[in-house]
Amino acid sequence: MSSRIDLHCHSTASDGTLAPADLVRAGAEAGLEVMAITDHDTTGGWADAAAARPDGLRLVRGAELSCRWHGAEPSISLHLLAYLFDPAEPALAESMRRLRVDREQRGEKIVEKLRADGVPITWTEVYGYAAGGSVGRPHIAQALIRAGLVTSVTEAFASRWLGARYFVPKADLDVFDAVAAVRAAGGVPVFAHPRATKRGRVVPDELIVALADVGLFGLEADHEDHSPAEREEIRALADRLGLVVTGSSDFHGTHKTVQLGAFVTAPEVYDKIVAAATGVPVLG
């Protein structure tokens, strides 16, 4: 693989396990030329990542927005990557702030459900694992591991735990509003892991067609949660709609097994994303 462009990585600003500064250093050590920091619903890691960026690593500042499509019953949650948007644009910043507040309330509800069944974890513990970043189920998984009830984050996502029995939905942005908000902030929206069936229901192609009409720029095709057939389906759909396709690790440190640079994006696609953005520049 010639390009070393990884456009989807998480830090401790959300549910990754490397601090933003360590994330960019790890990116350079892994031989990446370009890394995007895309924490869930926050730009909280941007400054530390930028300050620690090693020479030779270009940094794309981004986020991964929690979204929902209301065109199915029940509605379907999905993730939207947003690159190089202006973090000070008020509507998008306020939307992300609301999502983070809800993540805390929802995390507390999940912990209450677990405690009601005698699981010995506390919200204080979970909130501490998030360390000021966006709270996510992986932080609750950490508490379940500490309590000796599961041995991995993946196991904590099984249906008897956070996957179903102790699942509480979180607030999400309407996906059409999110695409518009990212564009309005000068950013470039890319649909993250659109066919990741292992995470739950996925949206139909008709939604992707409609999103392409309102400003969606690309689809993440090469991702560990997609089978080879799903990657090809996404490529075909992107071709038909004039969307770019990206590849990325969705690195979460030790919360997942995937390594930095495990999947990468083609240089010409990266160039198109950069050319389409007007919010903030690439650093480096």
Q: Which residues bind ligand AMP (CB under 6 A)?
A: 15, 40, 136-138, 153-154, 157, 170, 199, 252, 256
Comparing CB distances to ligand AMP, the nearer of 163 and 284 is 163
Q: Report the site for Fe ion in 190-229 (rule: CB under 5 A).
A: 192
Query: What distance, in Å, lies between the first and last C-alpha atoms of the chain?
Result: 22
Cβ pair 252, 10 in contact under 8 A: yes
For residues 33 and 39, which CB has a smaller minimum distance to ligand AMP in the complex? 39
**Residues between 2 and 21 with contacts to Fe ion, criterion CB under 5 A:** 15
Task: Considering the complex, state which of residue 138 and residue 279 has its C-beta at the smaller distance from ligand AMP.
Answer: 138
Interaction partner, residue 260 (ligand AMP, Fe ion, Zn ion, none; CB < 5-8 Å by kind) = none
Smallest distance from ligand AMP to CB 256, Å: 6
Q: Which does 230 bind (CB under 5 to 8 A by kind): ligand AMP, Fe ion, Zn ion, none?
A: none
- Nearest Cα residue to 191 out of 134, 234, 242: 234
Q: 194, 203 in Cβ contact below 8 A?
A: yes
**By CB under 5 A, residue 39 contacts Zn ion:** no
Residue 61 or residue 137: which is nearer to ligand AMP going by CB? 137
146 binds, among Zn ion, ligand AMP, Fe ion, none (CB under 5 to 8 A by kind): none
Nearest approach, Cβ of residue 66 and ligand AMP (Å): 7
Contacts 24+ apart (CB under 8 A), 206-212: 207/69, 207/71, 207/175, 208/237, 208/241, 209/241, 210/176, 211/175, 211/176, 211/179, 212/241, 212/242, 212/243
**Number of residues forming the site for Zn ion (CB under 5 A):** 2
**H or E element at residue 40:** strand 34-40
Find where tokens 């999947």 sit: 263
Q: Is 250 in the site for Zn ion (CB under 5 A)?
A: yes
Compute the distance between CA of residue 256 and CA of residue 63 in angstroms, rounded to an integer: 18
> Whole-number minimum distance, CB 153 to ligand AMP, in Å?
5
Under the binding rule (CB under 5 A), the answer on residue 15 touching Zn ion is no
| Residues near 116 by beta carbon (within 8 Å), at least 6 away in sequence | none
Query: Which residues contact Fe ion (rule: CB under 5 A)?
Result: 15, 79, 192
